[in-house]
Structure 1
């Protein structure tokens, strides 16, 4: 696993279409497959374009169950719809200051990147200001070597506070 240096960037809020899941960790690959197959059809049917890589947003920290929103940034909000049997809805990826880091390697080592990001945020006196999300820059079907997969981890931050978990 390789992690690039962490940086603070300012992002504009980004409309997205997503599928909501409350799943077990074992169900994640199948859930993401359904979401990433269903959302493009919903976007096309609504007349909006995909404008970025697929993402997974995590409203709460994963445990025995994972609350996740998976989808794509789009050119405009469209409302709720159904595609490929999945309920697809509007979501707004947060804007403002975001701590971001590029993770290179398999998805099952992302926890190490999150731990490094949390430690860095504490050292900087920053607090989480919203849920983190991951943008999947590599397509595992096109790049079969998990050591080469690239995932951009983004976590909204605010002023000084107790840290990301406190």
Structure 2
């Protein structure tokens, strides 16, 4: 289920600890969890985060491939640690909503969300990101998971 979509919002860049991942879609479940633990661990060890929800910043949606960064917001300068590098949630003009439901429904939620954005006359931008507001750490019921969807626009 999608919440009402926002009007266009101008965001500011936010520093983050990130891991860049490019994998076939069917491998996302194997790589996402370890990457999340790795970025949280690096930010925590360095005392600079996390300072907000875990996110996945996607660089377009290529069929069959996920090209994205998984990360957490931070409040200081990150020293690279293994795969973890300094990155950011970008400054952009976006439209936002929140999806409530299991992660398996995110693909359909994104499609519905993007259709609503285009129906309002906006042109989709090249990137998007999700912030995982509440998930398995908060509930055993996937129907209660909340994921913020952020789509860049080119207006």
Fold shared by both chains (TM-score > 0.5) = yes
CA contact 1:4–1:102 (8 Å) conserved in 2: yes
Residue 94 of structure 2 corresponds to residue 98 of structure 1: yes
Given candidates 130, 136, 148, the residue that maps to 1:140 is 136
**Which residue of 2 is the match for residue 49 of structure 1?**
49
**Which residue of 1 is the match for residue 20 of structure 2?**
20
User: d(CA) in 2 for partners of 1:6 and 1:89?
Assistant: 32
CA contact 1:94–1:156 (8 Å) conserved in 2: no
User: d(CA) in 1 for partners of 2:79 and 2:124?
Assistant: 28
Residue 124 of structure 2 corresponds to residue 128 of structure 1: yes
Runs of 5+ consecutive residues of structure 2 not aligned to the other structure: none
User: d(CA) in 2 for partners of 1:128 and 1:13?
Assistant: 19
Given candidates 133, 149, 152, the residue that maps to 1:156 is 152
Post-superposition offset of 1:100: 0.5
Runs of 4+ deviating beyond 4 Å = none
Using structure 2 for the length normalisation, give the TM-score.
0.89
Q: How many residues end up aligned between the 2 structures?
A: 154
User: d(CA) in 1 for partners of 2:40 and 2:107?
Assistant: 28
User: d(CA) in 1 for partners of 2:11 and 2:77?
Assistant: 18
User: d(CA) in 1 for partners of 2:126 and 2:16?
Assistant: 16
Post-superposition offset of 1:79: 4.6
Task: Say what the alpha-carbon RMSD is for the aligned residues.
Answer: 1.7
Q: Secondary structure at the match of 1:3?
A: coil
**Which residue of 2 is the match for residue 164 of structure 1?**
none
